[in-house]
Amino acid sequence: MKQQGAHPEDTESTSEASSRPDTANADEGQQAAYDPDEAHVDEVEGDEPLLPARVHRPSDLMRLLVGVLGIVLLLAIAAFAHGTTSGLEQDINKGTGQAPDVFSKMAGLVSSIAILLVPVAFAIERLIKRDGLRIADGVLAAVLAHGVTLATDLWVARAAPESIRDALTQPSPGDVGSLTDPVHGYLAPVIAYMTAVGMSRRPRWRAVLWAVLVLYAFSMLVTGYTTPFSIILTLLIGWTVAYGTLYAVGSPNVRPTGRTLMAGLRHVGFRPVSAAREEISDTQETGDRGRRYFVTLEDGPPLDVTVVDREQQAQGFFYRAWRNLTLRGFATRSSLQSLRQALEQEALLAYAAIAAGANAPKLIATSELGPDAVMLVYEHTGGHTLDSLADEEITDELLRDTWLQVKALQSRRIAHRRLVGDAILVDRSGKVIITDLRIGEIAANNLLLRMDISQLLVTLGLRVGAERAVASAVSVLGPDAVADCLPMLQPIALSRSTRATLRRLARERAQREREAVLEASKHAKHARSEEAPSDAGPVLDKPDRPDRPDRKTVRAQARAEKRAIDEALDEAREEDLLSQIRHEVLLIRPQAPVEPARLERVRPRTLISFIAGAIAAYFLLTQLTHIEFGPLIANAQWGWVAAAVLFSAASYFAAAMALLGFVPERVPFRRTVAAQVAGSFVKIVAPAAVGGVALNTRFLQRAGVRPGLAVASVGASQLFGLGCHILMLLAFGYLTGTEKTPSLSPSRTVIAGLLTVAVLVLVVTSVPFLRKFVVTRVRSLFAGVVPRMLDVLQRPQKLVTGIGGMLLLTACFVMCLDASIRAFGSEGTSLSIASVAVVFLAGNALGSAAPTPGGVGAVDVTLTVGLIAVGLPSEVAAPSVLLFRMLTLWLPVLPGWLAFNHLTRKGAL
């Protein structure tokens, strides 16, 4: 391990940090056991010179969210289960009414005094121990809770539904004609105060607290001054506000310092002299490693000590929670693992690894460092990690030894779960030691063991290449075991740091490919400019046919430039590491399975689609609940419905024209129309901007267009479509703004839109990162699209077909939406074509940007809101949008599926 040099300021700051009163959370006996003053010489090198006074704990945020959810559920039950709440209140009032009157009055008196006296007593106890920061947190939480109770009382009295008011209040016994308070104005602040100061973590104070709360709630229910729902709501508000305050301002940092570690080592029988904090590089995943120290002793060899505390353990909490949600049950360790569980898991894995015959650090002691940290003491191993070794030091023998350690672990079904470079240690003698067993698993299933092999293949491949990594694995594990891991060879099964490295390498490869394409295009243009003077002669020799030589020359130059770009792209194209590893394994086992295993439980796109669909469904249902569909359908103008169907069908022919206009090669028109119909099925399972591009590219390739040219044709179509879309949106927006004004001055909305675009352009051009990102993408786009556009420009009829198809496609959708509006609207509710076009173009733009399939949710809400905003009644806008989306999205799914299967059987997709 690397050691940091001692620094006087670091030692002094560490000593001060360790003696801060806000870090003293242990009981008196524990504080005495780990009192730093017992040491005569405590040198702590490389420890944190100044720990942050406060930290934001994810657990506080989770408790805040749980409290908010509890309040919402309570109010929902009170609002929709009125009969249940009334019956519950009657049963409780009947039961409490049988209590003796003397006992009720005595309980009320004692609880009213105790509920104010207990917090004051605890505050005095904390001030005596110089823990004033916690008292300040409690007071702040109490003030905020009081404000929330006042706001809740005001809302219940003036705006809440009658059912909620009945559940939270009842006639006041002491004041005829008035109601009791929905939330107790001083009980919620007391609960918030006691929660924020941490009384619940002290057994004696916790028992007193609960006794007082139960006694107070009983007395209030017996006397009729509250309801059960009011008591529960008060508790939830106080609890929620307390944890919200703690997360906002931060909790006092209880992380143990190096001096606390020294005292803990003496407590378990060691005699430490000094401790040096191990240096952690920025690329290492510190969330699963703990803080490591190199400790020297007065008598005996040095030690390696790992300290795990609550703050360090909370690092990566939300990442682990997301992985556990989206991946299957083998994703990561529990995101809410306690310190005791972490200690026991690492100790068990350390003993199991050594028992399996693997080289692992020997665990010799464990202990708690107060209530908020644990330590694990290992024999010192020394050496260097695989990441810190030079390339020439990674020999074949070292690779073989690494695989032997993994084989030993897997022989006892132990999964490491994180075989990255900093978990593989090479000591001074060259022996490989497997470290970082914290997140491992015993009795692991085959899937986890195969994931370990794939992870180590990638880790070694990043250092020595795919060929050596696979060869070393096959020599130890055998070809069958290595071949079985291919389905696990996917980014989602790898560690977080490995995925980041692979993404960085992918960006570097893409940059090299772009540079090669741009360089080839530059050379081709330079060669064309040099040949231009020599080609000018023949043009003058044939004045009767001046255009034909120029056209042939331009075509030949365009073909030469395309050929040069394709050749440069083929030469610069590189396989990623995962593909190289698969290729090496398939050379040994050609029959090995290569289809990636399904590891995801829920994909992010699926989750986003579900949320967006739920929001859209809720919005549309709220609009449709006020509509009487019987009279609406009876009075619908079916002629306009038929017109909407025809416009929807015509859009597929227009889409085929818009695509073929940018493909100089000959492609059958009817089959292209069928491909656009098949796109109706594809866009349901993929975002509209992605599914359509992929399907059209595949269709053109199957039609005989070269892959590079097919991508360029679809890219040119998308680029021209974007330009036309923006121009039409501005033009129709201008017309909409001038419809009701005698002058031709643009509307304020158009001016605001133009100013917004201008501000965005200025921001992008002024920020270096954004400017580089946009310029790089634009260059790569034009590198492939511009040569393709040269081919299209040689055929004006193709360009006219493409642009005309785009305009016709937009016109078909606009007319379909307009016909849907006229089908349900009366004579006075129709909109102008310009207004309908603006609403459609805005909704279509948002649908293309939304990550949901077919723009589900985003388009529906945008169209409905847009139509209402331009003056259409909601009882007409909602069914109109529903009909439009049925005709353009949902009903074409079945014919799209049939067309997709037909083209697939014919080999066209």
CA–CA gap between residue 737 and residue 739 (Å, rounded): 6
CA dihedral sign of residues 577, 580, 585, 589: positive
Backbone angles phi, psi at 807, to 5 degrees: -65, -40
Residue 96 has pLDDT above 60, yes or no: no
Strands 424-426 and 291-297: unpaired
CA–CA gap between residue 786 and residue 524 (Å, rounded): 13
What are the distances in angstroms from CA 734 to CA 727, 838, 839, 869, 871?
11, 10, 13, 16, 17
For residues 221-237, average pLDDT: 81
Provide the pLDDT confidence category of residue 40 given band limits of 50, 70 and 90: very low
Per-residue pLDDT, 440: 87
In sequence order, which residues have a C-beta less than 8 Å from that of residue 822 and are 6 or more positions away? 637, 640, 830
Residue 471 has pLDDT above 60, yes or no: yes
502 burial (CB, 10 Å; 0-12 / 13-18 / 19+) is middle
Give kind and range of the element (H or E) at residue 43: strand 43-45
CA–CA gap between residue 287 and residue 284 (Å, rounded): 9
Which of helix, strand or coil describes residue 303? strand
Give kind and range of the element (H or E) at residue 770: helix 768-793
Residue 755 has pLDDT above 60, yes or no: no
Q: How many CB atoms lie within 10 A of CB 443?
A: 10
Closest CA to 186 of 217, 214, 145: 145
CA–CA gap between residue 452 and residue 488 (Å, rounded): 9
Say which range, 113-117, 345-349, 491-495, has the weakest mean pLDDT.
Answer: 113-117
Residues 386-432: tens digit of each pLDDT: 998 998 899 999 999 999 999 999 999 999 988 999 899 998 888 99
Specify the DSSP class assigned to residue 886: I
Top pLDDT among 541 and 395 is at 395
Q: Percent of the chain, pLDDT > 90?
A: 15
CA–CA gap between residue 426 and residue 559 (Å, rounded): 56
Q: Percent of the chain, pLDDT > 70?
A: 66
For residues 172-198, average pLDDT: 77
In sequence order, which residues have a C-beta less than 8 Å from that of residue 778 and are 6 or more positions away? none
Top pLDDT among 343 and 372 is at 343
Largest CA-CA distance found in the chain, in angstroms, rounded: 124
Query: Of all residues in the chain, what percent are helix, strand and coil, respectively (each to 5)?
Result: 70, 5, 25
Structure tokens at 715: 């890219």
Q: How many CB atoms lie within 10 A of CB 693?
A: 18
Residue 6 has pLDDT above 50, yes or no: no
Provide the pLDDT confidence category of residue 379 given band limits of 50, 70 and 90: very high
Residues 240-283: tens digit of each pLDDT: 999 999 888 887 666 777 778 888 898 888 999 888 887 665 44
| Amino acid in the structure at residue 701 | Q
Say which range, 320-329, 356-365, 591-600, 616-625, has the weakest mean pLDDT.
Answer: 616-625
Q: Which residue has the tokens 């075991």?
A: 481
Residues 834-853: tens digit of each pLDDT: 888 888 888 777 666 665 66
Please state, rounded to an integer, the average pLDDT across all residues of the chain.
75
For residues 625-652, average pLDDT: 78
For residues 347-370, average pLDDT: 91
Residue 457 has pLDDT above 90, yes or no: yes
What are the distances in angstroms from CA 664 to CA 556, 559, 567, 659?
15, 12, 21, 11
CA–CA gap between residue 180 and residue 170 (Å, rounded): 6
Residue 345 has pLDDT above 80, yes or no: yes
CA–CA gap between residue 404 and residue 476 (Å, rounded): 7
For residues 345-349, average pLDDT: 89
